[in-house]
Amino acid sequence: MTSEAFRIGSSDMGYTSSLQLLINLPKLSGKTANCINVQFVNGYVFNVTDRLFPTALRELQADLSRRPVIVGVLALGLLLGISGPFDTLNVLSAGPRIVYWIAVVALTFATGSAVGNVVHTAVDRRLGWSSYAVSTLAIGVSVTVVLSLINLIVFGAWFATWFEFLGQLGIVTLISGVVEFSGLALQSGATTKPTGQPPLLDRMPFERRGEIVALSAEDHYVRVTTTKGTQLVLMRLSDAVKEVGDTDGLQIHRSHWIATNQIKEVKRIGERAEVHSSDGSTRPISRGYMKAARSAGLFPSN
């Protein structure tokens, strides 16, 4: 794979503007791939790719499939439905009120998660507060719009003035900011970061950092599997392997690398084999990597 780089910007008397861009266009088989990385000279990175929204959708599906999330959404919706805040206690009867609040909590949570995943996929999460500031604003606007549309459908109510809309936008954005920056604080806290943590884990959300189980290439991304979950990271598999730190492992396929201490079982299938890892997943050992697997002791000596 080769790449072409275009530098866009201006300089004056040796001073390079912080707005200058470096755009890398990967090429594959003579055709420009649909993946563009835009990097400002001050370190800001924006990833533009045709895989952006499918990736964010997969992350959203992973978030919504977790049992604590489902239980939390239902519990909060039920609590709000019973208490009836914002005059819903007088406007709606018990059944419709509970349904209304569960729907509000579920839809606004899904919207916030989807928008947050899109932003953090496009903007390098490791930029810290600037990345989370962008996600906070995006989530605030999108959730406010969704909430307003729900109220329009259910109550036929819309904002009488722009001040009402801006007031609700401010409240929603404030709540979004508390949630987003709380996550950033947990992610960057010095007391919570294990000593000697593999650099690859710095690319992952705090709650999904754990012992590395496996790495799998998916288009322009690498799916990093740990003992606490999975995360898609925009990088090459070869670069990801360089960031596993002291984790012992080996590549078993052109698209798969696995940590040796996470291997539970190895099965032979003709001239090939497959590895069963601690997370319950299975990955193939291709013919070209059988020698390396045998040298690593994955098969009994003849």
| pLDDT-based confidence at residue 289 (cuts at 50, 70, 90) | confident
Cβ atoms of residues 251 and 283 within 8 Å? no
What's the whole-number average pLDDT of the chain? 78
Q: What pLDDT shows up at residue 3?
A: 42
The residue among 203 and 25 whose pLDDT is bigger is 203
Range list for CATH 2.40.50.1020 in the chain: 199-295
| pLDDT-based confidence at residue 25 (cuts at 50, 70, 90) | very low
Q: What pLDDT shows up at residue 124?
A: 56
Region of poorest pLDDT, from 5-9, 96-100, 150-154: 5-9
Cβ atoms of residues 172 and 111 within 8 Å? no
In the CATH hierarchy, which top-level class contains the domain 199-295?
Answer: mainly beta
Sign of the alpha-carbon dihedral angle for 30, 31, 35, 36: positive
Q: What pLDDT shows up at residue 191?
A: 40
Neighbours of 21 (CB within 10 A): 15
Amino acid at 238: S
Q: What pLDDT shows up at residue 128?
A: 62
The pTM for the full model equals: 0.52
What percentage of the chain carries pLDDT values higher than 70? 72
Model confidence over 123-178: pLDDT tens digits?
A: 655 556 777 888 899 999 999 999 999 999 999 888 888 898 999 999 999 998 88
Q: What are phi and psi of 2, to 5 degrees?
A: -110, 170
Amino acid at 183: G
171-202 as b/e: b if 16+ CB within 10 A = ebbebbbeebeebbeebeeeeeeeeeebebbe
